[in-house]
């Protein structure tokens, strides 16, 4: 049990260090793909593995954008960038995020709203707290800044090799009286929006995870499926991870087969329903304890 906590702490600490590294390299005119690669290289060099692909979601996109294999997007002045990343060590995952405004200071209140909501929520993370109490604090802090929490996105319990485990941590009081117990690991991720506080399903994101594994006949598809199972187990991965190993036509062919057969699930991008609005996010992974242990703090 104690060994488990030690590994959670190691993964969390590296996730925190990686977040701070990432914060420094996001700048105007820099390429998304370069940033994602540098961050993922940093994780590997320090002895971890990405718990999921680095997510770089801009402005009204709340979540689930990872660079494509040949992505040419660059950061522009004024962009509100959500950098969300994960580190896993032996399946123990630290999940953390922050928001940066590129080259301007016009939306610092929006950024502060999700950050303060997270800090206030963390104070409640002791054994016996109900998840709706966390949601209540998140939503009241964000509302006090004049923004809306995003209600259809939530934090989550984290288990070994399971990024989104069965308990949801809401961003508003949803009346869920599930009680958190000592030794649970959860991620809290408040989103503050200048829009209506709801996301919709957008374009495909090129983030995938194994959904319903079953045998496949085709040799190319089988080769890629074997690689996915060995390399990522049940954790999310990006299409670009595959094109580093296999040719683009092979990857396209296998992914489309695997998705059609329900073996893989592809996450959609999650833009706010209100076009043109701005969204900020902050996230930490926390070990329920008295006092709470913020695993991804540095």
Please list the active-site residues.
84, 95, 156, 164, 189, 283
- Which of 268, 169, 51 shows the shortest CA–CA distance to 39? 51
**In angstroms, rounded to a whole number, what is the distance separating the alpha carbons of residues 183 and 69?**
38
Number of residues that bind Mn ion (CB under 5 A): 5
Q: Which stretch binds Mn ion (CB under 5 A): 25-33, 82-90, 196-204, 260-268?
A: 82-90
Q: Which is nearer to Mn ion, 187 or 254 (CB)?
A: 187
The vertex-84 CA angle with 158 and 23, nearest 5°, equals 135
- Which of 28, 104, 98 shows the shortest CA–CA distance to 282? 98
Among residues 84, 116, 133, 136, which is the contact residue for Mn ion, using CB under 5 A?
Answer: 84
**In angstroms, rounded to a whole number, what is the distance separating the alpha carbons of residues 262 and 112?**
40
Rounded least distance, CB 97 to Mn ion, Å: 5
Q: Which is nearer to Mn ion, 64 or 239 (CB)?
A: 64
Q: Which is nearer to Mn ion, 20 or 290 (CB)?
A: 20
SS3 141: helix
Contact status: 95 vs Mn ion (CB under 5 A): yes
**In angstroms, rounded to a whole number, what is the distance separating the alpha carbons of residues 201 and 87?**
26
Rounded least distance, CB 136 to Mn ion, Å: 20
Contact status: 79 vs Mn ion (CB under 5 A): no
Binding mask 209-248 for Mn ion (x = CB under 5 A): ----------------------------------------
Distance from the Cα of residue 65 to its chain's centroid? 10
SS3 101: strand
Indicate the burial class of 44 (C-beta count within 10 angstroms; 0-12, 13-18, 19 or more). Answer: exposed
Q: Which is nearer to Mn ion, 87 or 97 (CB)?
A: 97
Q: Which stretch binds Mn ion (CB under 5 A): 76-84, 178-186, 219-227, 250-258?
A: 76-84
Q: Identify whether 152 is preceded by a cis peptide bond (ω within 30 of 0).
A: no
Binding mask 256-285 for Mn ion (x = CB under 5 A): ---------------------------x--
Q: Which is nearer to Mn ion, 43 or 254 (CB)?
A: 43
**Binding residues for Mn ion restricted to 174-193, rule: CB under 5 A:** 187
Rounded least distance, CB 173 to Mn ion, Å: 20
**Binding residues for Mn ion restricted to 44-73, rule: CB under 5 A:** none
Give exposure, 248-267, as e/b (b: 16+ Cβ within 10 Å): eebbebbbebbeeeebbebb
- Tokens 């957008």 belong to 202
Q: Which is nearer to Mn ion, 157 or 225 (CB)?
A: 157
User: Assign residue 175 a region: left if phi > 0, alpha if psi is -120 to 50, beta otherwise?
Assistant: left
Distance from the Cα of residue 235 to its chain's centroid? 12
Rounded least distance, CB 284 to Mn ion, Å: 10
Contact status: 293 vs Mn ion (CB under 5 A): no
Rounded least distance, CB 282 to Mn ion, Å: 10
Rounded least distance, CB 224 to Mn ion, Å: 26
The residues of the shown chain that bind Mn ion, judged by CB under 5 A, are 84, 95, 97, 187, 283
């Amino acid at each position: 049990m104690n060994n488990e906590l030690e590994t959670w702490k190691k993964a969390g600490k590296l996730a925190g260090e990686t977040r701070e590294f990432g914060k420094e390299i996001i700048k105007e005119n820099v390429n998304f793909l370069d940033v994602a690669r540098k961050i993922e290289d940093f994780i590997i060099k320090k002895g971890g593995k990405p718990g999921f692909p680095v997510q770089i979601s801009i402005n009204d996109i709340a979540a689930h954008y990872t660079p494509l294999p040949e992505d040419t997007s660059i950061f522009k002045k004024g962009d509100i960038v959500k950098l969300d990343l994960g580190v896993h060590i032996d399946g123990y995952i630290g999940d953390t995020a922050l928001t940066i405004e590129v080259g301007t200071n016009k939306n610092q209140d929006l950024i502060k709203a999700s950050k303060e909501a997270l800090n206030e929520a963390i104070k409640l993370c002791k054994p016996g707290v109900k998840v709706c109490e966390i949601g209540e604090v998140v939503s009241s802090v964000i509302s006090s800044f004049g923004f809306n929490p995003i209600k259809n996105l939530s934090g989550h319990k984290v288990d070994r090799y399971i990024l989104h485990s069965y308990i949801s941590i809401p961003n508003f009081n949803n009346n869920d009286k599930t009680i958190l117990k000592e030794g649970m690991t959860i991620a809290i991720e408040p989103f503050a929006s200048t829009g209506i506080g709801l996301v919709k399903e957008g374009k495909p994101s090129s983030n995938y995870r194994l959904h319903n594994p079953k045998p496949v006949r085709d040799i190319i598809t089988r080769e890629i499926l074997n690689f996915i199972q060995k390399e990522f187990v049940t954790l999310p991965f990006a299409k670009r991870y595959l094109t580093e190993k296999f040719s683009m036509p092979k990857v396209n062919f296998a992914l489309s087969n695997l998705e059609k057969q329900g073996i893989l699930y592809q996450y959609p991008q999650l833009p706010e329903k209100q076009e043109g609005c701005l969204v900020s996010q902050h996230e930490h992974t926390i070990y329920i304890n008295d006092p709470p242990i913020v695993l991804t703090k540095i």
